[in-house]
Each structure stands twice: as structure tokens, then as C-alpha cells.
Chain A
Amino acid sequence: MSTPTIAEANRLFEEGLLDPVELLSEVLHRASLTEAELHAYLTIDHEGARRRAEAAAERLARGERRGPLDGIPIALKDNLCTKGVETTCASQILAGWVPPYDATAVARLQEAGAVLVGKTNLDEFAMGSSTENSAYGPTRNPWDTERVPGGSSGGSAAAVAVGSAVAALGSDTGGSIRQPAALCGVVGFKPTYGLVSRYGLVAFASSLDQIGPITRTVADAGMLFEVIAGHDPLDATSYPGQVPRWDAELDAGVGGVRIGLVRELSGDGIDPEVAEVCRRVLDLLSDQGAQVVEVSLPTVEVALSAYYLVAPAECSANLARFDGIRYGLRVPGDTVSETMGRTRAEGFGPEVTRRILLGTYALSAGYYDAFYLQAQRVRALVVQDFAEAYQKADVLVSPTSPTTAFPLGAKVADPLAMYMSDVCTIPSNLAGHPAISLPVGLDSAGLPIGLQIMAPALGETLLFRVAAEVERVAGFDARPRLAEGMP
């Protein structure tokens, strides 16, 4: 058998054809077959997973399942705190750190009966777009192991793609869920900022970070979202109102829905094959009664620059706590400040160091107005841009990534080229809006192409409705080499 989706597993559970222990075995078997090549996981919690799977199996046997995630093996990006399980953020500086508490999203998965398989690889502290910035070595793309899986949630996307997890959580600060999902041929969803508590997510850029699901299908993403979303008194930026229902209009189709193709994200700088596949999907939607229009987001290019000031500025303060005093790596020096300096110099990788320096600079006296404040103004303009675009369209679409998966090492030496990978995804983070990426086709090299759908804040109901239709018309059912044809 191959690893089922959440929906399939639920059906198999109910029909008595599968139980959570068997499902976990299958997932761990997949991991054992693929990990040597893929390196999606940093930690696999065999014992904890088995314990939870057995408990879920008992609940299933007693007819007391807690819901659709009960007994489902789920992987967690290793920047989510897990009580008793090492959490490293793929950094040397947190090597061996075991959190004394669970992130709220993790705790909610546990309560729902999910079986947490392990912790997945990422770019160090979620800073990167290829998972090559992991201190523990890169994750590879399951479609072509000479290529990157995208990032920073590359481990989660790769694991879901090959079935070494049924689903996973990632975090998305500038596209870190959607871009690897696109490059690995799976679904990645970044909810509206504030819908999923950030408590226990090791912060990269607090005003942009959002936890979300990486799954094989749109419905799976919705089921995961439903469990992890909702107000959390431990997060002051958590949205206190009702969470929009993802499945309220799921079967309503796209008749009459105005779908806006973002002009600035469909021409220059976008791989023609990628652009072509996306346009073809729009034609199919149009056949289904959608009204496809072209809209403009004139600030998307400056949005990238604004992002690379705001995110580093916030990260420079967020990562100040890693100083060797209370936890994690300590490289002793003669004085306290020398200890802090040495620990940080040795503990952080080059990209993290680069962003901390950039952010520190952007916040410094004399530069604050020109950089940080100016970036915040651009952010306000992006929000305004979206508002105008949403006058003309109900949802916006674009490719998720300008290209399909690129070769390992291709952009390591050129940070700016790497930063360009996020040009399509960053605007939604700056605005705090929801966006989803789903696979819609393969390029001529057989690599998956992702389409991004964006909606206004709290527009999840419509977003999922359109996504479900895209999934249906695109009919993407390819699987990567590492998921299929294995002994």
C-alpha cells in the first residue's frame, strides 16, 4: 500500500481496513525507505508516536475517535516546541534543547488524537527558501534528489510528498509553507495572520509568522486548519473572533466567482512553463463559470524589499535571546559578553547571521526612518494594493514560485536570487492574508508546479471553495519517484 491521505485514512479506519498502529507502521516504513536520500526529518519520535498510535487504535476500537485527525501521523516542522522532544530550529545554537512545553498548535493536534511522528528539517530558524540553510544538512526534493525541496518548511513538504507523514505543519513567514509545497507537489496553506496561535512557534518575524498545514489534498489542509485554528489567550495577536469555516461552501464551485490573475506575477521573472500551466488552470476555471480578470498589485516588487527589512529587523530582536546563558549552545569566554558573542558567532549559520546584521542595521539610530519605517510604509501600501485588487476580484491567483525546484547549491552563493523565490508569496504575509498553494501540473522536467490562491483576511471559506475546484479541474495525481515504485 501507499500512504493514504487524511480523508482516505478516515474511510479505511471506519471500514475496519486499517488502524492507527498499522498506519504509523506504514508511515515509518516509508521514512525508513526514503530518509537516507531525502533527510526530511531531524528527529523521529518512535516511542512517542507508537504510544499515541496505540491509544488512537484503542479509541478506534471502542468507537470513541475524537475526530478526523485521531490516529493520523503528522510531522512537525522543527521550529514548533514539543514538550520532551528536542527542538532545534535546524540550528547549532539550539542543539539538544528540549522544550518544557508544547506549542498551542501542537497541543491542539495532541488533543485531537493526532500521532506526532517527528520533527522535520528546515532552513535554520526558518530563514531560507531551499532548506539548504539547515545546520544538519539539506533536505532533498523527492521528485529529483539533485534539487531542493524549497523552504523553509522543506522537510515537512518532502515528508508529505513521499508519505513519511500523512500531513505536516509548517510555518510561513514569506512563503515558507507554500513555496516548498509547490516545489514538492503538495498542498500548503498559510491561514490569515492571527487565526493560528504562534505560542510555541520559535519566532522568526513575529508580525509575519503563521503556522499552517502541508497536506496532499485541499480537504486535508482544511481538516488540519480546523483543529489548530482558534483564539489562544497565550498569544496577544491571536484573533478573538470566529474562525471562518473552511468547508462551508466547499462544493459550491466557482460559478460567478471573480478570479484575478496578478499581472505583476504572471509575466517577467516567471518561468514561461510555470506561467503557462497557471493560465491553463484559469481557462479550466473559466469553463466552470468563473470570471477571470487581470488585476494589478503594483507594489509586489518593493514588497520584497520591504519584507527583507521588516523580517530581519524583527528577527534581530527575536534571536537575541540565544546567548548561551540559559539554554542551548554555550561557547565560554572570559566575560559574559564574550561568552554571548562567541556562542552566537559559532551557533548561528551564515544566513541567520546575515539577517541579524541586516535587521540590526535597519533598526539603528539614523537608519530606522530610512529602512524600518519606510518598509512599514510600503507594507501599508501593499495592504492598500490588495484592497484595490479585491474591488475587482474575489480571490487572486499567481504561480506560487517563479520556478520549479532548482538544483541544490544553485542559489546558495547568491542570496538575492534566493530571495526572489519568495516574490509571489511575500505579499500575503505582509498583508496578513490567507493563501494556499496546490499542485496543478508538471513542467517538462517532470517537476511539480504550484498555483497560489490568495483571499482577503478571514476569507478562508471562499479560498477553500476555489481551491477545491482548482484541485478538481487540475486533476493533479502525479507522485514523486520516492513515493512510488519503491520496493
Chain B
Amino acid sequence: MTWEPVIGIEVHVELLTSSKMFCGCRVSFGDPPNTNVCPTCLGLPGSLPVPNRRAIEWLVKIGLALNCRINEWSVFHRKNYFYADLPKNYQISQYDHPVCVDGWLDVSGPDGAFRVGIERAHMEEDTGKSIHLGEGGRIHSATQTLLDFNRAGVPLVEIVSKPDIGTPPRARAFAQELREVILTLGVSDARLEEGSMRFDANVSLRRPGGPLGTKVEVKNMNSFRSLERALGYEIDRQRKLLEAGREVVQETRHWDEEAGVTQGMRTKEVSSDYRYFPDPDLVPIVVDTAWRERIAAELPELPAQRRARYLDQGVDPQTASVLSASEPDLRNLYDQAVEAGADPRTTALWVTGEITAALRRDEQLRLPAGGELAELLTLIEQGTVSASAAKEVLAGMLAGEGGAREVAERRNLIQISDSDALSEVVDTVLAENPDAVERYRAGEGKVLGFLVGQVMRATGGRADPRLVNRLLAERLG
């Protein structure tokens, strides 16, 4: 009998608002420790929180993009626990009245499209950072802990999926899609390595159709790859336990990237009682219809909508996905080139292929304007430059040598499509290779390729191969 994994994902996204969630301090990363702080985000006696309206607006944006219902009325709660980097020893968060509930996200995974339910998305504040000095940088062996409160109070959105995800690759696809949505909304830089987007997962196994098993929370996965690997490992671990007739213990486990295993926390876990209660320093958040509708009207095109549009425009599904996940600059280039009359399918291939590759080699590269790319694609289509020469033209364009035709001419890359001019070359080649002609006529068809090659060589590769073929065929006919 088989086991079926059940995976739910919890995501934390740091919003890149200009100021923190409950005070006026700057949201900025990499500044010297404890420079972006004030009485409120340090939790000094007497200080009070005042909500950042922009952050709430961005949360509503996220909620709408995830097809959530936006509660007209929601509440900030205090989540109580003692921790050195939590200035007030409670976190302002949301509990039973979050801003966004009950949504979904459609994901196109490696094995087809699927939908993941979104339980909720709510607003909270980030904690400070503990820097453990001493052996290993871990809290247990630290001789000294330094605290940096620059991050304390940065607006944090928590998104909780329903346990709808069946496999690690799907979990990864969901996480990637969600990141794409966040980036498209422009509310966070969503960097996994730096922790501005953090994924935790809940995993359990059950018999197909059976009741849910004991779930384990897996933390500390800071890339999509480690998310997939950690889940794979954890599912395997649980399966082995269950098959050996043992029980899965409810716990939090950390993913160890180097060892490739999940590990239980060393300390014994006591079940936490966060003693949530409504924060009396804050009044309920009211998102009325007018505000919600205004935010909805300002939503950008979302990744799923974008992919659907690319498909409608004739782009193949694979390329559409790649293009949709590309940087905004590249997507804009595609849109502008298509606008300027270029064929969408070809444009998408060029943008996700040659241009992306060039950009990868040199991040400072100045992208061509949409019209310039359209011009290049027209040159290819009309046979003015060959597909291979076009790459060289593009390189010239990216190097700032000018527009497509200008570069093609200057670099002598215009195809010879004039049959009179080409006929002369063809005749010369035939005259110089009598034995090849002889063999061809004797029925050795593959010799034609040799002759085409000779013509191409004589023209420096600029001859239109289709025309060369036709002219040779006529003469050898």
C-alpha cells in the first residue's frame, strides 16, 4: 500500500515599503546595525504602534492577486512569546480576523496545471536579528549574542496555503509561481537567500483517501531547490518510519543543506501558547469597498494572465512560461516588439533565448528598443539576413553599433538574395568542381550539400541558402 504526501506551505514576505509597519523608520537592508530604529520598533516603554497604510494596501493587493476574499474588517492581535530579538516580547500579528482569506493560486507544474488553495494572508511585523558569536554561529554554542533591530518592525505578510500540494516538485512550482506573483506586484524583492521571502512547509503522509497523518514543520530552506530537496527527504523519512511501524513525532525540523537532511531541534519542544488577544493599541483595519476596488483596479497583469496572453498571441507554452518568469525589462521588450509588428512567437524565442543569454553574460547590457528588435526580426523574415547572421547583428546592436539594418550593412551581413549576382558565383563553383558535378549527375545526391557549401563559402556565408539551392538545382537539373 502506498503513502500519499500532504504538503502545506507557509510563506513570509517582507514588504519593501519605504517605512516600517508601525513606525516611521526606513526599511533598508545592509545598513549598519541599529541605525534604522526608534522608540516604537525598539519597544521602549511608552511607545505606540501606528499602522502603515501602504503596507495594508499591499497586503490587499497580494490577497486580490491570490483570489482571496478581503475582510472589510480585520484585527491586529498580539502574539506573546519571549525572545531576545522580539523587542516587545510580543509580535503584532493577526489571528482569527486576518485581512485576506480563502483564495487560490493556479500553478503550471512539471506534470501539468494544478490549483493550490490559500487559507489566509495576514499582516505582521518582522523581528530583529540575533547574531550569535562563538562556535558555529548557533544559539546553543554562542558565547555572546548581538542584536540588530533594523529589521524589527519591517512589514511582513504571512501567506498560508491549504495542504493541497501532493509532491515536492509541485511545492517548488507553487513557491516559484507565488514569487512571480509577488515580484509582479512589486511589493517585495522576494529574495530567498536574503530571507525577504521565506518558505516553511508542513508535511505529513497518509493512506490515499485516509485521515491526515501527524505533520512535521520543516524550516530553513532558502532556495527553491532546497525546498524541493528538503520535502523529498522528509517524505522519505516519514515513509520509512511508518513502514517500520513507528510513529511520526509532531515537531519542527530544520533543513541542513550541506548534509541533505532535516533535523529535529535539539531542545525539547513544549507546545507554545501564544495567548493571542486583540492589540488594544490598535483599532480594527477597515478595508471598505471603495478602497478595495481602487486597489483591484490598479492590479498589474498577473503571471497567469500574462502566460495566457502569450499563448493567445501564438507563443508556445514552454516559451510562454519562461518569458512570463523573465525580468520585467525583457517582458516589456517583448511587448514593445510585438507592438511594433514583430511576430510574437519569434520575438518570444529571441527574447528568452539570445537576448537573455547575452544579458546573462553582461548584466550592464543596454537592451534594444522594441522597434529595433522588430526591425531585426523583419530582416530575418524577409531573408535580408540569415538566422545565424542575425545573432551577430544582435551582438552589434547590443554593443551599441546602431539599428539592425545599420549593423547588418556595416558588418557586411546582408544576405545575397539577388539571383543574377548569385548565378555568377554558382556558375564559377560548378566550373571549379567538375567531378562533383559529375558525381551528382551519376546519382550521388548528397554532393549537392557540398556544392551549396562551396557557394556559401565563396560568398562569405551571406548567400541566401534557399536561393542557392534553387539555382544549383536549375543548373544541374
Contact = CB atoms under 8 A, between A and B. Distances in A.
B280 interface: yes
Given A320-B90, A321-B89, A201 B46 contact: yes
B77 to A, nearest CB: 10
A364 B273 contact: yes
Contact of A202 (B46, B88, B276): B46
Nearest to B38: A101
A233 B49 CA distance: 10
Given A317-B78, A317-B80, A317-B90, A207 B275 contact: no
Interface string B18-51: 0000000000000000000001001111111111
Main secondary structure of the interface of A (DSSP, over half): loop
Contact of A87 (B45, B275, B276): B45
B45 to A, nearest CB: 4
A198 interface: yes
Contacts of B42: 326
Contacts of A236: 48-51, 281-283
B90 A325 contact: no
Interface in B3-21: none
Interface stretch (A92-100, A398-406, A453-461): A92-100
Interface string B275-319: 111001111000000000000000000000000000000000000
A122 to B, nearest CB: 14
B413 to A, nearest CB: 64
A336 B273 contact: no
A79 B48 CA distance: 14
B147 to A, nearest CB: 7
A101 B44 CA distance: 10
Contacts of B280: 205-207, 237, 314
B145 interface: yes
Nearest to A91: B45
A235 B45 contact: no
Contact of A206 (B44, B90, B281): B281
Interface in A320-348: 320-323, 325-327, 336-337, 340
A364 B81 CA distance: 12
Interface string A73-84: 000000111000
Q: How large is the interface on B (under 10, 10 to 19, 20 to 34, 35 or more residues)?
A: 20 to 34
A235 B48 contact: yes
Nearest to A235: B48
A199 interface: yes
A89 interface: yes
A313 interface: yes
B84 interface: yes
B213 interface: no
Contacts of A368: 275, 277
Contacts of A314: 280
B73 interface: no
A363 B277 contact: yes
A321 B282 contact: no
Nearest to A328: B45
Interface string A6-44: 000000000000000000000000000000000000000
A237 B283 contact: yes
A317 B281 CA distance: 11
Q: Which of B39, B44, B145 has the most chain A CB atoms closer than 10 A to its own CB? A: B44
Contact of B45 (A89, A205, A363, A365): A89
A482 B275 CA distance: 48
A337 B86 CA distance: 13
Interface in A115-139: none
B84 A336 contact: yes
A200 interface: yes
A199 B277 contact: no
A105 to B, nearest CB: 11
Contact of B277 (A80, A340, A372): A372
B277 A100 contact: no
A387 interface: no
Interface string A465-485: 000000000000000000000
B232 interface: no
A323 B82 contact: yes
Q: Which of B44, B46, B50 has the most chain A CB atoms closer than 10 A to its own CB? A: B46
A306 interface: no
Interface in B37-93: 39, 42-51, 78, 80, 82, 84, 87-90
A103 B46 contact: yes
A383 interface: no
Contacts of A94: 45
A206 B230 CA distance: 44
A234 interface: yes
Contact of A325 (B45, B48, B147): B147
Contacts of A325: 84, 147
A363 B275 contact: yes
A141 to B, nearest CB: 28
A368 B95 CA distance: 14
Contacts of A205: 280
B50 A340 contact: no
Contacts of A321: 43, 45, 87-89
A355 to B, nearest CB: 15
A131 to B, nearest CB: 20
B44 A100 contact: yes
Contacts of B276: 363
A203 interface: yes
Interface string A47-83: 0000000000000000000000000000000011100
Interface string A177-209: 000000000000000000000111111011100
Contact of B48 (A80, A99, A198): A198
Contacts of A164: none
A428 interface: no
A5 interface: no
A109 B280 CA distance: 26
A360 interface: yes
B134 to A, nearest CB: 14
A97 B44 CA distance: 10
Contacts of B44: 99-101, 326-327
A425 to B, nearest CB: 19
Contact of A320 (B39, B89, B277): B89
A320 B80 contact: yes
Contact of A364 (B87, B89, B147, B275): B275
A202 B281 contact: no
Contacts of A313: 277
Contacts of B78: 317
Interface in A143-190: none
B50 A323 contact: no
A360 B275 CA distance: 8
A193 to B, nearest CB: 11
7 contacts: A81-B45, A99-B46, A202-B45, A321-B88, A323-B84, A327-B44, A372-B277
The 7 A-B pairs with the shortest beta carbon distances in the complex, nearest first, are A320-B89, A207-B280, A206-B280, A363-B275, A202-B45, A200-B46, A81-B46
Given A97-B45, A99-B46, A325-B84, 17 more contacts: A80-B46, A81-B46, A99-B39, A99-B45, A198-B48, A199-B46, A200-B47, A235-B50, A237-B280, A316-B275, A321-B43, A321-B88, A323-B89, A327-B45, A336-B145, A340-B82, A372-B277
Interface of B: 39, 42-51, 78, 80, 82, 84, 87-90, 145, 147, 273, 275-277, 280-283
